[in-house]
Amino acid sequence: MIVSPREKKLMKEIAKILKDLKDGNIPKFFNERELEMFVLGVLKGKYGNKKKITPQVVSYSKRKIIQPDIVVDDELAIELKSLRTTSDFERAIGQIKKYEESFPYRILLIYDPSGKSFKIDKKEFSNVELVVWN
């Protein structure tokens, strides 16, 4: 897969927008759907029609269907995970790794209201930006 500098710039730009939000008022989310709607609203509010922002895109990888929560410009996958248990965390890590074939640049946004501070080895990921909201 050919990777462009534009895709990396897009990932860094959107990750910064999401990271800057954590210092502001993040509402309490009761489920991942609410989290997704909030992030979609933020991105659509920021970019309007300048970027194609699509929820739950279906992509095929090795005959398996993979569905990032949000895809931007058909180039960047954003996976959102509301952590309640360790298995939620492990599933988020597995999902973001699966998206690598179709999306070389990815953002993993973890909503962790309990502040369990799960440990992520950033060396384990290439081209992934991590955003954590508590």
Question: Tens digit of pLDDT per residue, the chain (134 long)?
Answer: 566 788 889 999 999 999 998 766 788 888 888 999 999 999 999 999 999 999 985 555 555 666 899 999 989 999 999 888 878 888 888 888 888 888 989 999 999 887 775 666 667 677 899 998 88
Number of domains in the chain: 1
What is the distance between the alpha carbons of residues 53 and 46, in angstroms, rounded to a whole number?
11
Domain, as residue range, for 49: 16-72+92-133
User: Looking at the domain assignment, is residue 2 inside a domain?
Assistant: no
Q: How many CB atoms lie within 10 A of CB 36?
A: 19
15-43 residue pLDDT tens = 999 999 876 678 888 888 899 999 999 99
Distance in angstroms (rounded) separating the CA atoms of residues 16 and 8:
12
| Structural domain contains residue 7 | no
Cα separations in angstroms, 126 against 29, 50, 60, 83, 122: 29, 27, 21, 22, 8
In a domain, 25, yes or no: yes
Q: Is residue 3 a part of any domain in this protein?
A: no
Residue 4 belongs to some domain of the structure: no
| Predicted TM-score (pTM) of this structure | 0.87
| 113 belongs to a structural domain | yes
